[in-house]
Chains A and B, each alone.
Chain A
Amino acid sequence: MRKICLFVLSALLIGVAGKSQGNYSDFARQSSRLQELARSHPKYAQLKSLAKTSGNRDIWLLTLGAANADSRPAIAIAGGVEGNNPLSTELVIGFAEELLRDIGSDSVRQLLEKTTFYLFPNMSPDAMEQYFAKLQYERTGNARSTDDDRDGKSDEDGMEDLDGDGKITFMRIASPVGEFLLHPDDNRVLVKADPAKPQVGKYLLMQEGIDNDKDGKWNEDGEGGVAFNKNMSFKHPSFTPGAGEFPISEIENRAMLDFLFERFNVYAVVNFSSHNNLSQPNTFNQAQANAPVISGWQDADVKVNGTVSEVYNKIIKQKDAPKSPNPGGDFQSWAYFHYNRFAFSTPGWWVPKTKPDSTKQEKAFTQEDPVANYLRWAGQNGVENYFTPWKKINHPDFPNQEVEVGGVHPFVMHTPPYQLTKDIVRKHKQFVVELAGMQPELDLLNLKTEKLGQGITRVTVDVANLGLLPSHTKLGERSYWIKRILVTAGLAKGQEIISGRARHTLGALPGQSSETISWLIKGSGILTLEAGSPTTGTKSIKVSL
């Protein structure tokens, strides 16, 4: 009993502490925020641990929805598919907190009566803890020990904090054969020398560390692991660091897929990651879309992507997003190409293109560079603690060379200062709610019965999709893991079908469209027509013959 009291007390304390939170949440705090949501909204929020990672952390699934959540069309939302992205986890947990805070309102309750949300706040809990660790660096691999450089030893050459600032930044080594130069407008920044111009490099640039195993490579096999976002099955980058021995080799990836493949009701996947098809939608590439191994979105699905992107950009007005990384083992590609659902991803935030501040005598850059742009933005916006000035050190691997340690801090270029997240969370919540408003929804319209004599009636009905989104993706028409729309004519005793099928399946029904189906039925009494699928819900009507 005393234990329970203590538990309640500590839960309360955590709750109080949460109100004044000024930083991203570590795993313990992510868990307590999720537990608090489930505890205080038992009717609408269920928390489940799908698995424990090799680092012994839970893969949480928070299901938001009214009773029988699995029976309703659903959106899955993922954070932490990249372990170096604490903002993504904040966006998912923040979505749940924002939504449930307004659970008293009719609109939110109606939303949860209509749509289920499967939230995966953090798919890389092992890696993300590195953000909060004593030594901070951008890690994506889980706690599995791997031999990244395939030399027979695991985790034998990681990074070292040579200047003792608690962060892995960079080291620059003066060298006549270096590939890097100082940026012409900001000497804190290094840029690649362009031999075509021609420019001659002056520095080697690498991450802070020592060649621990003396193989002539620096930091090539550090702690961890397999990265969730490199271990998926679409274009798995086999035999590259972080990819795993084969696709879906990791506990995290399997736990999520085992869950999602049994959820036929999921029609869209929202993903907060460096992949971006929301501020900048996919385009149609005929060759890729028709290749034997399809690697481009289908035309109809590209159009849907365009519509959803319009909605996103109306809410999130930020332009100039960084280029999406190439696909390969990533969750976003999997969600469309192998799960065959509408898949939408956004980084959620990126550094705005920053104009020179004339009061500070800043001039337009003569060379575009993301780090220089970031430093200018951070300086103008009062950001603290984002850069370590270059400082000479003695490096054991370069005994007679000039080595300096410093540079931009890890994470900061894609992780906004925490006080900005409130607004980012609010806007992305609004986007997801509007996406749910576009949900496919079936209705049976224009029912017509015509007596043809001899007890025979022609029954005609339009199966309509009232939503803006199609019932499922065009690509999904060909997958076992998508259910078709099933239209049935349920006969009363004495009724008989003369023409037409008792069970009829339809392909992807586009948004705001309908298909006409008719039967010849002999006999009288009540005929029940029904149309439905897990992603659209089910409608039925009774016809008196």
Chain B
Amino acid sequence: MIRKIFSLLVFLSLLLTTMAQNADQVFKAAGSPVNPKVPISWNRYNDHAGITDICRKIAKAHPDLAKLESIGKSYEGRDIWVLTVTDFKSGSPDQKPGMYIDGNIHSNEVQGAEFALYTAWYLTETFHDTRFIKELLADKVFYIVPSINPDGRDSYFHAPNTGSSPRSGVIPVDNDRDGLVDEDGYDDLDGDNEILMMRRKNPRGRYRVDPTDPRRMIQVGVDEVGEYELLGLEGKDNDGDGLVNEDGYTFQYDPNRDWGWGWQPNYIQGGAYKYPFSLPENRAVMEFVMKHPNIAAAQSYHNAGGMILRGPGDPTDQVTYNPADVRVYDAIAQKGEELIPGYKYLVVHKDLYPAYGGELDWFYGGRGVYTYSNELWTPFLFFNKPATRGAQDESSFLFDRWLLFKDAFVDWHEFDHPQYGKIEIGGFKKNFGRAHPGFLLESDAHRNMSFTIYHAYHTPKLVIDSLQETNLGGGLKKNHGYRFEYTFNAYPFEP
């Protein structure tokens, strides 16, 4: 009995802490929900259990606006969640043009999940007091899949990694083809759940310490001698073959080379798996898309670099990307460049590299859906001026020093390495460099969301503009129906 009362109390206190603040205590900031039913902190990241929790809360708090379902299981058995967001009281969702949004196809490119979730949260929380969102959800449906790679996501957070690993999902592949799988990956030598850099004192080294910031290594000139050599990422030679970190789990395959348009095998397109949709997570997405022919627009969130990308990834695929469609792509993306400062509209094969079998090419080539991949986060956002992540650019160090108070960096510390002897380990943590720093996460999520809303708004809408009847005599009448395709030149975007 006492235990029951106690658990009731615990429940009540939980209820109180999760309940919204009193409406009297808050004042609305323009463009944000003032007193959301589901309070969420948008300055941190969520693992798969965290995403699951948020999805459930949104669906529960807004039963008429959001429904949650699993579209399939990952390799390790995690659910791939889709939140269907629309005004369920207004028309059938299957009859509305659909905007599909996903994130995190690459394991380390985590913030796409938060951006996608932010969209679901924003649409549901602002529906009641923002006329434009109300009208939008009457006409359109959003299919939001925060992470299409939940195994990789959890692995990135919970296993030792860099900001760039793992890119791959977690199905083992014998990449060096010697019959052993993942026999020599990174090693978290100092046990801090980070894979950092290794350096060793060397009188003929090519690096020296920056006199203005002892954390930073500077490459010396060609006629200079440094004091340190860099030994690469934290690890050792696990299998005694003389190589360090040559077959780890961090690159088995690339989930974004597994899609059924222009697919090429791994000897042409590194990272391809067995055949299109041979990865269970992508297969689940494909099956969902095939069952929803109303999907008319799509957005996939990656990191990093501040890009709004369109296909083709295949340099020879210009036929598919025909001039009429490219005009539409251009117009939407140019608006995106305006809405998201620091982001540039680019074409994959031309501005990045050739990439066969990518998700955006299947959505467009295979299903006829205009699709963008945004590379989230850009060093431009450090000080709102051009900057890079390059080793010789000190912006990262300055930003970490003045705005993050050195929270993003693990100071160099000594370690006895089994092969290299006395070394030092240090460097930026995995949550810095490609993932947004906390205080910039919500702002950039909002800007990217506004781009997807602009995109969704311009999905087709058929209306009969006017109707005219002509009497042909002899009891015959002819109707002149003006069927009108709602493209963005027809009606300006005016919320």
Residues of A whose CB lies within 8 Å of any CB of B are: 233, 236, 238, 245-249, 254, 257-258, 261, 292-294, 337-338, 340, 475, 478-484, 486, 501-503, 505, 533
Q: How far is the CA of A246 from the CA of B363 in the complex (A)?
A: 11
**Pair B275/A505 contact, Cβ less than 8 Å:** no
Q: CA A338 – CA B175 in complex, angstroms?
A: 17
Residues of chain B within 8 A of A233, CB atoms compared: 263, 265, 275-276
Is there contact, CB below 8 Å, between B268 and A503?
A: no
Contact B241 A486, beta carbon cutoff 8 Å: no
In the assembled complex, the CB of A538 is this many whole angstroms from the nearest CB of chain B, namely: 10
CB of A505 within 8 A of CB of B277, answer no
Q: Is the CB of B266 within 8 A of A480?
A: yes
- Which of B265, B362, B366 gathers most chain A CB within 10 Å? B265
- Bound-complex Cα distance A480 to B176 (A): 8
Please name all residues of chain A whose beta carbon is closer than 8 Å to the beta carbon of B315 when the two chains form the complex. 292
CB neighbours of B274 from chain A (8 A): 257-258, 261, 481
> B residues engaging A (CB < 8 A)?
173-179, 239-242, 260-261, 263-268, 274-278, 286, 290, 315-316, 354, 356, 362, 365-366
Contacting A502 at CB < 8 Å: which of B179, B241, B356, B365? B241
Would B178 and A486 count as touching, CB distance under 8 A? yes
Complex contact B276–A248 (CB within 8 A): yes
Interface contact A246-B277, CB-CB below 8 Å: yes
Given contacts A248-B277, A261-B274, contact A479 B266 (CB under 8 A): yes
Q: Are A483 and B276 in contact (CB under 8 A)?
A: no
How far apart sit A361 and B11, CA to CA, in the bound complex (Å)? 102
Say whether B275 contacts A257, CB under 8 Å: yes
Q: Are B178 and A246 in contact (CB under 8 A)?
A: no
A460 → B minimal CB distance (Å): 20
Contact flag A501-B242 (CB < 8 Å), given A246-B362, A337-B265: yes
Whole-angstrom distance between the alpha carbons of A258 and B362 in the complex?
22
Contacts of B241 in A (CB 8 A): 501-503
A481 to B316, CA, bound (A): 26
B177 near A480 with CB under 8 A, answer yes
Q: Are A293 and B260 in contact (CB under 8 A)?
A: no
Q: Are the CB atoms of A247 and B276 closer together than 8 Å? A: yes
Given contacts A238-B261, A483-B179, A533-B179, 20 further A-B contacts (CB under 8 A): A233-B263, A233-B265, A236-B260, A245-B260, A246-B286, A247-B260, A248-B260, A248-B275, A248-B278, A249-B260, A257-B278, A261-B274, A261-B278, A338-B265, A479-B267, A480-B173, A480-B266, A483-B174, A484-B177, A502-B240
Could you list 8 A-B pairs, sorted by A, with CB under 8 Å?
Answer: A246-B260, A246-B366, A257-B278, A292-B315, A479-B267, A484-B177, A486-B179, A505-B176
Quick check: A338 and B177 within 8 Å, CB to CB?
A: no
Partner among A257, A261, A337, A503 whose Cβ is within 8 Å of the Cβ of B178 = A503
- A residues near B275, Cβ cutoff 8 Å: 233, 247-248, 254, 257, 338
Bound together, the chains give a CA A233 to CA B266 distance in angstroms of: 13
- In the bound complex, residues from chain B placing their C-beta under 8 Å from that of A249 are 260
- Give the chain A neighbours of B240 by CB distance below 8 A: 502
Interface of A is mostly: loop
Q: Which residues of chain A have C-beta atoms less than 8 A from B179's C-beta?
A: 483, 486, 533
Instruction: State the CA gap A258–B171 with chains docked (Å).
Output: 14
Q: Is the CB of B265 within 8 A of A245?
A: no
Please indicate the chain A residues that have their CB under 8 angstroms from the CB of B366 in the complex: 238, 245-246
| Residue ID in chain A nearest B283 by CB atoms | A254
How close is B483's CB to chain A, nearest CB, in angstroms? 17
Please give me the residue from chain B that is nearest to A239 by CB atom: B366
- Chain A residues with CB under 8 A of B290: 245
Q: Which residues of B contact A258 (CB under 8 A)?
A: 274, 278
Residue of A nearest to B354 (CB): A292
B265 touching A479, Cβ below 8 Å: yes
**DSSP class of B's interface residues: helix, strand, loop or mixed?**
loop
A294: B residues at CB distance < 8 A: 268
Collect the chain B residues with CB atoms within 8 Å of residue A238's CB: 261, 365-366
5 interchain residue pairs of minimum CB distance: A246-B260, A478-B267, A248-B275, A261-B274, A338-B265
**What's the nearest-Cβ distance from chain B to residue A152, in Å?**
11
Q: Shortest Cβ distance from A137 into chain B, in angstroms?
A: 29
Give complex CA distance A448, B174 in Å: 32
| Least CB separation from B241: chain A residue | A503
Please give, as numbers and ranges, the residues of chain B lying within 8 Å of A246 by CB-CB distance: 260-261, 276-277, 286, 362, 366
Residue of A nearest to B272 (CB): A480
B262 → chain A, closest Cβ, in Å?
9
A294 to B356, CA, bound (A): 13
* Interchain CB contact (< 8 A) of B177 among A247, A248, A254, A482: A482
Q: Which B residues are in CB contact (< 8 Å) with A484?
A: 177-178
With A245-B290, A246-B276, A247-B276: A505-B263 Cβ-Cβ less than 8 Å: no
How many angstroms between the C-alpha atoms of A245 and B173 in the bound complex? 28
Question: How many Å from the CB of A269 to the closest CB on chain B?
Answer: 15
| Distance of A519 Cα from B274 Cα, bound (Å) | 37
Contact B178 A340 (CB under 8 A): no
A497 to chain B minimum Cβ distance, whole angstroms, is: 9
Note all chain A residues with C-beta closer than 8 A to B174. 480, 483
Q: Within 8 Å CB of A502, what residues of B?
A: 240-241
Min Cβ gap B354→A in Å is 8
Residue of B nearest to A261 (CB): B274
Q: How far is the CA of A503 from the CA of B242 in the complex (A)?
A: 10
Chain B: minimal CB distance from A401 (Å): 33
Please give the distance in Å from A300's CB to the nearest CB on chain B: 15
- Residue of A479, A480, A481 ringed by the most chain B CB atoms within 10 A: A480
| Bound: A246/B264 CA distance, A | 13
CA distance A501 to B278 in the complex (A): 35
Whole-angstrom CA separation of A533 from B261 in the bound complex: 33
Taking the closest CB of chain B, its distance from the CB of A301, in whole angstroms, is: 13
Q: How far is the CB of B72 from chain A (nearest CB, A)?
A: 15
Residues of B near A293 (CB, < 8 A) are 264, 268, 316, 356
Docked CA distance A258–B274 (Å): 8
Contact yes or no, A292 B178, CB < 8 A: no
Q: Is the CB of B175 within 8 A of A480?
A: yes
CB neighbours (8 Å) of B316 from chain A are 293
A505 CB → nearest B CB, Å: 5
- Minimum distance in angstroms from A385 CB to a CB of chain B: 42
Chain A proximity of B368: nearest CB distance (Å):
11
Point out the residues of chain B lying under 8 angstroms from A245, CB to CB.
260, 290, 366
Q: How far is the CB of B405 from chain A (nearest CB, A)?
A: 45
Complex Cα spacing A293 to B265, Å: 9
A253 to B472, CA, bound (A): 58
A532 to chain B, nearest CB (A): 9
Which one of B239, B240, B260, B290 has the greatest number of beta carbons of chain A within 10 Å?
B260
How far is it, in angstroms, between the C-alpha of A478 and the C-alpha of B176 when the chains are bound? 10
A478 and B267 alpha carbons, distance in the complex (Å): 5
Chain A residues whose CB sits within 8 angstroms of the CB of B263 once the complex forms: 233, 236, 247
Query: How many Å from the CB of B269 to the closest CB on chain A?
Result: 9
Residue of B nearest to A534 (CB): B179
Q: Which residues of B contact A478 (CB under 8 A)?
A: 267
Name the residue in B175, B264, B267, B315 with the highest tally of chain A Cβ atoms < 10 Å from its Cβ: B267
In the assembled complex, the Cα of A289 lies from the Cα of B159 at a distance in Å of: 42
A503 CA to B179 CA in the complex, in Å? Answer: 11
Measured between alpha carbons, how far is A503 from B290 in the docked complex, in Å?
47
Minimum CB–CB distance from B398 to chain A (whole Å) comes to: 42
CA distance A133 to B175 in the complex (A): 48
Cα distance, A247 to B272, chains bound together (Å):
14
Cα–Cα distance between A354 and B484 once the two chains are bound (Å): 64
In whole angstroms, how far apart are the Cα atoms of A498 and B261 in the complex?
51
Cα distance A421–B351 in the bound complex, in angstroms: 58
**Within the assembled complex, what's the spacing in Å between the Cα atoms of A481 and B253?**
12
Q: In the complex, which residues of chain A have a beta carbon less than 8 angstroms from the beta carbon of B178?
A: 483-484, 486, 503, 505
Taking CB atoms, residues of chain A closer than 8 Å to B264 are 293
A479 to B176, CA, bound (A): 10
B259 to chain A, nearest CB (A): 8
A427 to B168, CA, bound (A): 48
With both chains docked as a complex, state the minimum distance between the C-beta of B183 and any C-beta of chain A, in angstroms. 10
CA distance A505 to B260 in the complex (A): 33
Closest-CB distance, B291 to chain A (whole angstroms): 12
Q: How far is the CA of A58 from the CA of B260 in the complex (A)?
A: 26
